[in-house]
Amino acid sequence: MGWQEKVLRVDLTAGKITPEPLNMEWAETYIGQRGLGTKYLSEEMDPAVDALSPQNKLIFATGPLTATGASTGGRYSVITKGALTNAIACSNSGGQFGAYLKLAGWDMLILEGRSPEPVYLLVENDDVRLLPAKDFIWGETVWDTEDKIIAKHQNPNLKIASIGVAGESLCRYACVMNDRDRAAGRSGVGAVMGSKNLKAIAAYGSVGTKVANPQAFKEANAAARAKLDPSEPRKRLSSIGTHAMLDVTNSYGSLPTLNCRAVQFDGAASVNVKAAHTPRRSDGKANLQTNKACFACSIGCGRIASIDPEHFSVKDKPRYQISLGGLEYEGIYAVGPMCGVDDIDAATYASALCNEHGMDPISFGASVAAAMELYDIGAITKEETGGMALEFGSAEALVWAAEVTGTATGFGVDIGLGSKRLCEKYGHPDLAMVVKGQEFPGYDPRAMQGMGLAYATSNRGACHLRASPFQDDFAHIRTEGKAAIVKKSQDRNAAWDSTGVCLFAGNAWKVDDLVAQLAGALPGNWTVDGFFDAGERIWNLERLFNLRAGLTKADDTLPKRVMEEPALSGAGKGKVAEIGKMLPEYYELRGWTVDGEPSSQTLGRLGLN
């Protein structure tokens, strides 16, 4: 019935593994994955604890539709207190791992404490073991970790979530990687895993899943699939991927460039989709090789690429002269335009190293951009970098930064602090393009006012997936009406992220299509209104977590640069992000006080008091 009704609790300090029943009452109220994981975390942990202390918990949560056969239904989320943000962190990933965890019979893993020695967790159906990682995979890259675990256990069907050296060495934006190139990417969830001395989780499952009403589920699933498969968004995501957004934001004037000094990038044509499709001189191949899909997904927005074997970054390195995870929009924006780099091979190499070492490419690229600006104004010199000229536009500097940050070497340790801590360390905190410590994705809030509000109010720091103001932002540069759009889409996305299905299916589906599948998979009465109510409840629960962690209204803001320095070009030329005009209305729509705290009436309405 959607659920296995089983949670695996792992006390890493004591090395103890305990199965327990899933709290079904909470599952009804918080759906699963993001919502349910946040409920467990909020109930079990004081949000004020240090994110890197043993007191923090790390939850891997699937959704009720994960591995049921629902289209794109292979998702899981990692929920914890973020090492980058000190706020609630919830990072969602696809690939195969989440589905296999569920197929092994587990809805959720709760990891507590800190192992005295590095370990990994092996989950083969009911057979669950903590095994030593030292002298085996500790210190290894994500790719080698996966290969070694599979070889040791002689099971090519094991699906693995792991951290690289970045996570082990507590890089603030380390991710949890799975299936080589999929990531629970944001907010530093990989650093929390590293702080627990947990290198990897390997899952294989053959238990299967059940749904509550097989006939209703089958019909809803078939109808949703019939809508998704021939749809334009599916075709577009499959053929040109999210990478296509680069030409859109560049022509609109909302492409963050040179650490947000500019909003359009002169070198865009060298790093856009067309560049990725164009055969190169050396071997006649294009950067983009093919696409790749996650579990049960007919979209396949993932990119598989190859780097020019003649390029300086890989010339004598056969390891990287293969097909590897390619450029997606948020990654290429960060390692390309944000750093002023117009070299598609250098960008692909830097992205590949983010996968190999387990770093969020958005935060990595934006942190390099911040470091480049610090270098540009003389706050960082070659003395700090060890001789590297960290100049905007330098492909060599980008490649070097990816290598030293991924391996936590020299100045790479500073880049691994993230933009906020890096800019504070070198005396220019205003140069960090962050909200709540998390770096911007690829949308400048001066031309996209709704996205500015979405960044400022996102519970996990600057994020493009917590709300969907895109269509209105690309049609109207104004502040009116944005609060309602942001609030409603935040609630929708919070509920959607709790189901086990990918947000991208929502480009073709309406909420009804997803609710019909939930209604087939689960007992109880599932309605569109109830779905939005659950989303609002989850949003408020995350907000309460953050307030208890010590965040305040003052954290619902944007960097000074985008609020005070007008955009130089594009549709938003002359505009600044006007967060002060939108925030009071947003709080009111949320039923929060002027200080941004949910009122007792709101808490009562949502059943949160």
Contact set with ligand SF4 (CB under 6 A): 72, 94, 293-294, 297, 299-302, 502, 504
Q: How far apart are CA 15 and CA 120, in angstroms?
A: 11
CA distances for 274 relative to 287, 344, 561, angstroms: 10, 11, 31
**Minimum Å distance from CB 96 to other proteins?**
19
300 binds other proteins (CB under 8 A): no
302 binds other proteins (CB under 8 A): no
- What DSSP state is assigned to residue 344? H
Tokens of 447: 């031309």
468 binds other proteins (CB under 8 A): yes
- One of 471, 599, 600, 609 touching other proteins (CB under 8 A): 471
Q: How far apart are CA 173 and CA 354, in angstroms?
A: 10
What is the residue-wise DSSP string for 535-574? Answer: HHHHHHHHHHHHHHHT--GGGS---HHHHHS-B-SSTTBT
Q: How far apart are CA 472 and CA 475, in angstroms?
A: 5
**Minimum Å distance from CB 252 to other proteins?**
7
**Minimum Å distance from CB 418 to ligand SF4?**
24
In the list ligand SF4, other proteins, none, the entry touching 475 (Cβ below 5 to 8 angstroms by class) is other proteins
Neighbours of 458 (CB within 10 A): 23
Q: How far apart are CA 426 and CA 43, in angstroms?
A: 38
Nearer to other proteins, 143 or 252 (CB): 252
571 binds other proteins (CB under 8 A): yes
Tokens of 350: 């830097």
What beta strand segments (E) does 4-139 contain?
Answer: 6-11, 16-21, 58-62, 76-81, 88-93, 108-112, 119-124, 127-132
Q: How far apart are CA 255 and CA 263, in angstroms?
A: 5
528 binds other proteins (CB under 8 A): no
464 binds other proteins (CB under 8 A): yes
Whether 88 contacts 545, CB under 8 Å: yes
- One of 26, 312, 474, 532 touching other proteins (CB under 8 A): 474
* Beta bridge partner(s), residue 202: 122, 160
- One of 476, 524, 588, 594 touching other proteins (CB under 8 A): 476
Those residues whose C-beta lies under 8 Å from the C-beta of residue 341, and which sit 6 or more positions away, are 267, 271, 335, 347, 393, 394, 395, 398
In the list other proteins, ligand SF4, none, the entry touching 329 (Cβ below 5 to 8 angstroms by class) is other proteins
Residue type present at position 335: V
Nearest to 88 by CA among 45, 152, 136: 45
**Minimum Å distance from CB 396 to ligand SF4?**
32
Nearer to other proteins, 248 or 413 (CB): 248
In the list ligand SF4, other proteins, none, the entry touching 471 (Cβ below 5 to 8 angstroms by class) is other proteins
Nearer to other proteins, 102 or 464 (CB): 464
Nearer to other proteins, 103 or 237 (CB): 237
In the list ligand SF4, other proteins, none, the entry touching 340 (Cβ below 5 to 8 angstroms by class) is none
In the list other proteins, ligand SF4, none, the entry touching 570 (Cβ below 5 to 8 angstroms by class) is other proteins
- Main-chain dihedrals φ then ψ at residue 506, nearest 5 degrees: -70, -10
509 binds other proteins (CB under 8 A): no
- One of 7, 104, 301, 431 touching other proteins (CB under 8 A): 301
265 binds other proteins (CB under 8 A): no
Whether 550 contacts 87, CB under 8 Å: no
**Minimum Å distance from CB 493 to other proteins?**
11
In the list other proteins, ligand SF4, none, the entry touching 73 (Cβ below 5 to 8 angstroms by class) is none
- One of 138, 329, 364, 411 touching other proteins (CB under 8 A): 329
**Minimum Å distance from CB 16 to ligand SF4?**
34
Can you give the binding site for other proteins, defined by CB under 8 A?
A: 232-233, 236, 240, 242, 244-245, 247-248, 251-253, 273, 301, 328-330, 441-443, 464-465, 468, 470-471, 474-477, 503-504, 507, 570-571, 573
